[in-house]
């Protein structure tokens, strides 16, 4: 297996706690910048679910030095692109720029870390944006979130899917500003830059813009611990956004920094068609039970999720699909992943890592993510090595030890049945 070329990068921490990562890549005269804050939807305070989404929106609404629409305007007018990503564990704000716009990028990001402005009008605008996003999301199917709610009962992750219009209406301006002051602090942030940059010069410019951002006391880390279920958990729901039924079978798995996670990643690939297709074999070839099935690994700072999502064929009972999924996982005990399948999975993972490197912005985001969640930005170089070291025996072990039937959660989601209005019939008739 050819090694992935090593990405060299500077890793330094300023006196105010800000972690700085800089990687040079002179393939094109552009660079990416990503500022990652170590807060996510898990950090929504009790009763103020959705506050992280409000803060994310307000980060684009200006400061005393940058007008309400000027951040976006300055980026786009100078040939750049921008965006944001809010997950359970982190909030990342990123831009791509021509390499001659380094000072503009650093000014904009240091300004919103230092002096975001808060007014009732801006909060109202952010609240309406979040409500619109929630309304749009509610028209779509989110069975994976429903599955997660079955498995997370104690962890801060239980808060992730609780934002609602009712909650948002109760969150005041002072609460939003207090959250920003606590969580958007340099000591809880990582700035990563990648692209056509000189690392030493860039580090000095980062210091020029960020070193004077005041250090602030950091919040208490959330409690992410979650005990394994003592017995299987099940839920049935009707979802009006679904056009066909879905069955999800999920398990809590170790946190993302645990060595078992790489074996779980190989296991997921081996279940999917690209890595051998055990799900296809058990749900389609042996018995015609499902039109599609996919195994997914949701890696988090705390306990993660491993789950299989299947679309049963019409008339197939959910119990049949659940048993076939369990049989596919159990099959690794007596039929390990073959050496050729392992090689194909390793190549698949390598291709994905190479694709990440093709974009300076994605490289910056990945550096920030690895630093924020795992405290190890060098995973951008070593993750491939860790996955390549996984053996067929280790895949057998995690399948047996982590995907235990007695600890599974099962969600059956079916399309909502059409409602019949009083006095009306669904039958045909002449007009």
pLDDT band at 148 (very low <50, low <70, confident <90, very high): very high
CB crowding 224-235: b at 16 or more within 10 Å, else e: bebeebeeebee
Distance of alpha carbon 207 from the chain centroid: 30
Three-state SS for 359?
A: coil
> Helices 199-210 and 102-115 meet at what angle, rounded to 10?
30
Query: What dotted CATH number matches 9-210?
Result: 3.30.830.10
pLDDT tops 90 at residue 161: no
Domain boundaries, the chain: 9-210, 233-415
Rounded Cα distance, 50 and 163, in Å: 5
- The predicted pLDDT at position 421 comes to 52
Q: What is the pLDDT of residues 255-275, one digit of tens each?
A: 999 999 999 999 999 999 765
pLDDT tops 50 at residue 429: no
What phi and psi, each to the nearest 5 degrees, are found at residue 249? -120, 120
Q: What is the pLDDT of residues 344-377, one digit of tens each?
A: 999 999 999 999 999 999 999 999 999 999 999 9
Q: Which of 21-35, 131-145, 314-328 has the lowest mean pLDDT?
A: 131-145
Task: Please give the angle made by the CA atoms of 359, 364 and 370, to the nearest 5 degrees.
Answer: 120
Cα-only R_g, the chain: 24
Higher pLDDT, 230 or 162: 230
Rounded Cα distance, 294 and 292, in Å: 7
- The predicted pLDDT at position 430 comes to 35
Contact status, residue 74 vs residue 104, Cβ threshold 8 Å: yes
How large is the average pLDDT for residues 107-112?
Answer: 97
How large is the average pLDDT for residues 276-297?
Answer: 92
Q: Do domains 9-210 and 233-415 have the same CATH topology?
A: yes
pLDDT tops 70 at residue 321: yes
Number of CB atoms found within 10 A of residue 122's CB = 20
How large is the average pLDDT for residues 175-194?
Answer: 96
Q: Which residue has the tokens 């070839």?
A: 285
DSSP H helical ranges for 305-419: 318-330, 339-357, 360-374, 379-388, 392-402
DSSP 24: E
Residue-averaged pLDDT of the chain: 92
State the CATH architecture for 233-415.
Answer: 2-Layer Sandwich (3.30)
Q: What is the pLDDT of residues 58-79, one digit of tens each?
A: 999 999 999 988 999 999 999 9
DSSP 63: -
| pTM for this prediction | 0.92
């Amino acid at each position: 297996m050819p090694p992935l070329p090593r990405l060299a990068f500077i890793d330094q921490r300023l006196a105010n706690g800000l972690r700085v990562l800089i990687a040079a890549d002179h393939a094109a005269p552009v660079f990416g910048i990503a500022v990652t804050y170590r807060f996510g939807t898990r950090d929504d305070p009790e009763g103020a679910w959705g506050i992280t989404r409000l803060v994310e929106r307000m980060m684009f609404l200006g400061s005393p030095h940058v007008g309400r629409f000027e951040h976006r305007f300055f980026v786009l007018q100078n040939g750049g692109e921008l965006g944001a990503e809010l997950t359970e564990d982190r909030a990342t704000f990123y831009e791509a720029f021509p390499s001659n716009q380094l000072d503009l990028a650093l000014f904009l990001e240091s300004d919103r870390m230092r002096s975001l402005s808060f007014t009732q009008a801006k909060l109202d605008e952010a609240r309406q944006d979040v409500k619109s996003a929630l309304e749009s999301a509610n028209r779509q199917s989110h069975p994976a979130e429903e599955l997660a709610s079955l498995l997370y009962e104690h962890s801060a992750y239980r808060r992730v899917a609780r934002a609602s219009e009712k909650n948002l209406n109760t969150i005041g301006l002072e609460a939003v500003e207090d959250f920003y002051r606590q969580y958007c602090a340099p000591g809880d942030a990582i700035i990563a830059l990648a692209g056509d940059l000189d690392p030493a010069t860039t580090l000095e410019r980062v210091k020029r813009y960020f070193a004077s951002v005041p250090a602030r006391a950091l919040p208490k880390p959330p409690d992410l611990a979650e005990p394994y279920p003592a017995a299987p958990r099940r839920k049935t729901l009707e979802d009006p956004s679904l056009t066909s039924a879905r069955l999800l079978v999920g398990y809590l798995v170790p946190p993302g920094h645990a060595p078992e996670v790489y074996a779980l990643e190989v296991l997921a690939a081996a279940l999917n068609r690209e890595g051998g297709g055990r799900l296809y074999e058990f749900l389609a070839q042996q018995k015609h039970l499902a039109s599609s099935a996919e195994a997914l690994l949701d890696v988090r700072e705390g306990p993660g999720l491993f789950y299989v999502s299947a679309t049963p064929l019409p008339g197939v009972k959910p119990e049949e699909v659940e048993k076939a999924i369990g049989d596919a996982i159990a099959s690794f005990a007596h039929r390990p992943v073959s050496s050729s399948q392992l090689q194909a999975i390793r190549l698949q993972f390598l291709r994905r890592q190479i694709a990440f490197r093709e974009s300076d912005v994605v490289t910056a985001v990945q550096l920030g993510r690895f630093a924020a969640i795992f405290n190890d930005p060098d995973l951008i170089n070593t993750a491939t090595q860790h996955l390549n070291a996984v053996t067929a025996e280790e895949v057998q072990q995690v399948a047996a030890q982590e995907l235990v039937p007695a600890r599974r959660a099962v969600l059956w989601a079916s399309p909502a049945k059409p409602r019949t209005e009083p006095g009306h019939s669904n039958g045909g008739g002449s007009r």
